[in-house]
Amino acid sequence: MTFKQLGIIDPILKALSEEGYEFPTPIQQQALPLLLQGKDLLGCAQTGTGKTAAFAIPILQHLYNNPQVQSGKRNLRALIVAPTRELAIQIADSFTAYGKYTGLTNTVIFGGVKQGSQTDKLQRGVDILVATPGRLLDLMGQGFIRLDKVEFSVLDEADHMLDMGFIHDIRKLIAKLPPKRQSLFFSATMPKEIVELAGSMLGNPERITIEPKQTTAERVTQGLYFVEKKDKTALLAHLLKTSEFETALIFSRTKHGADKIVRYLAKKSIKAEAIHGNKSQNARQRVLKEFKEGTMRVLVATDIAARGIDVDDLSLVINFDLPNVPETYVHRIGRTGRAKASGASISFCASDERPLLKDIEKLIGQSVPKLQNPVAIEEDPDFEPDRAPLNRSRGSSGSFSPKPKQRTGKPAGSFAKSVFKPRTPKNNR
């Protein structure tokens, strides 16, 4: 099935063709006909399934086919709310690409930067607004944004909204929307709070659940090192220097920890950058641009800052710290197993993180393969490991041994050879 067979209009088809898209993904095949009919939608799908295009294309088509009749300033007709600035920017870029030949306008607003340039665009009038919750409510309070003419509302990555404490802001926004509108709600998971939120936003929605043919854990080649905190940075530097990879995304539990990792790698002549909430928006956008283009190969991020990072050729994810929430592990390693692609992940597990590993393995239904530690690892005497407390998301009783039992595992070299391929210059792809 092609986009043309789904009834997509020529201006959007032309833009999709230029983006290299001809065949819709499963969520697009299911969502597009429903949304083109004007139905509300509750979608459960993982990142990387093509859900942005699933809601952007029908919104663009409806607005194009039903232009505003009044002259003068454009009314805001479509609102998309995303949890992070990176994801909001990514969604706005998609609207720009798919709507290239429609004449429709969009802009994106988010916090962490001065509002002047954003309010200038709003005052000129836009058809489509992509926003993060805090800045959206702020500019509404200042009178720069009115939602009374909104025909489409989209809430993307709702479960991440919940994680980040935006649930009350979202309820305020929903209350400001006109009752007559088409609403779309997307979430990778559906905990009780998200189901209740969806019920307040949607009328009688169609439901779509996209289950990948393989789970993330099956698509991604996984490996794990038992390593004490004081030795993690040395092991990381060793792996980055001895393994072939295109780009590596390293997860740190804290912002302070991410910065310390970058400083350590710099001492070892490994160029890396950190991205987290304490970085300015301009710095974050610059780093993401370099990472996506492949000019900067190693990025260290916290979980919240990594929301919205979408890199086509991400070959390696390293969990420098295991996450407190086991579902976060799946989201992390899934960044290197997008759509039909495969990828690799390596995790470091210190003694006090073993209960977290137990929760992760219970969730994914398999043991993460254990790797033999390289022999030649020089400990950095100046590095102080991050002392952030560990908080398990679900209580599980039982003790753990501070000295894990000896395990036989796959040597690091064989793991690297089975996963990593020689780098290919960007212009030869």
Domain C-terminal end among 152, 184, 209: 209
**Residue 409 pLDDT exceeds 50:** no
Find the DSSP H helices in 294-404: 303-306, 326-333, 354-364
Residue ranges making up the domain that contains 99: 4-209
Two tokens at 303?
């979980």
Residues 167 and 46 reside in one and the same domain: yes
How far is it, in rounded angstroms, from Cα 322 to Cα 308? 20
| 306 close to 287: Cβ distance less than 8 angstroms | no
Say what percent of the chain tops pLDDT 90: 47
The pLDDT value recorded for residue 69 is 66
Residues 225 and 195 reside in one and the same domain: no
End-to-end CA distance of the chain: 27
Residues 190 and 281 reside in one and the same domain: no
CATH of the domain at 26: 3.40.50.300
Residue 273 covered by a domain? yes
**Residue 48 pLDDT exceeds 70:** no
Domain C-terminal end among 153, 184, 209: 209
Residue 244 covered by a domain? yes
Residue 427 covered by a domain? no
Residue with tokens 């936003």: 201
Residues 91 and 148 reside in one and the same domain: yes
How far is it, in rounded angstroms, from Cα 407 to Cα 369? 10
**Residue 67 pLDDT exceeds 50:** yes
Residues 167 and 240 reside in one and the same domain: no
Cβ-proximal residues to 403 (8 Å cutoff; 6+ apart), any chain:
351
Residue 428 covered by a domain? no
Residues 204 and 277 reside in one and the same domain: no
Count of all residues that appear for the chain in the document: 429
Residue 51 covered by a domain? yes
Whose CA is closest to 25, among 3, 10, 41? 3
Residues 225 and 357 reside in one and the same domain: yes
| 255 close to 283: Cβ distance less than 8 angstroms | no
Question: CA 331, 304, 393, 184 torsion: positive or negative?
Answer: negative
Residues 227 and 272 reside in one and the same domain: yes
pLDDT tens profile 147-197: 999 999 999 988 888 877 888 899 899 999 999 999 999 987 777 788 888
pTM, 2 dp: 0.63
The pLDDT value recorded for residue 417 is 47
Q: How many domains does the chain have?
A: 2
